[in-house]
Amino acid sequence: MVLLVIFTSEEEGAEEILRILAENKVEKGVILESEGMRKVLKSGLDAEKIFGFFSDRRPFNRTIMAIVEKRNVRKMIHLINSYWNSDKNKERKKNRVMFSIPIGNLTIGV
């Protein structure tokens, strides 16, 4: 098994990625609303500023972590990259990251 991790700042993009995963029977994982580190760090490293930053803003990024069978991970990466490559907006392309991590031990439903 592999953990496929995807960061995107596009709400519509996250929905399309979820559609791609669902159509390929990838159903185990989690979706987190998140905030990009760059924006937090630009507010300054003062803890008071950072925590104030979080309380004043609603997250707009999505972090999708999906458990994918090893034999299917290349296909999922290819499909998501194909979707991303179809977008010509260079600014949006800066806000997309995807990587995979092998899972050594996995326990589900104990």
Domain borders along the chain are 2-34+62-102
pTM over 0.85: no
Neighbours of 13 (CB within 10 A): 19
43 compared with 29, residue with greater pLDDT = 29
Question: What is the C-alpha separation between 89 and 34, in angstroms, rounded?
Answer: 22
Neighbours of 44 (CB within 10 A): 11
Chain segment 58-110, per-residue pLDDT in tens: 556 889 999 999 999 999 999 999 999 888 776 666 678 999 999 988 787 77
What local confidence, expressed as pLDDT, does residue 12 receive? 78
By C-alpha distance, which of 23, 37, 40, 45 is closest to 97? 37
Residue type at position 13: G
2-34+62-102 topology per CATH: Alpha-Beta Plaits (3.30.70)
Mean pLDDT value across the chain: 82
Secondary structure element (H or E) that encloses residue 11, with its range: helix 11-23
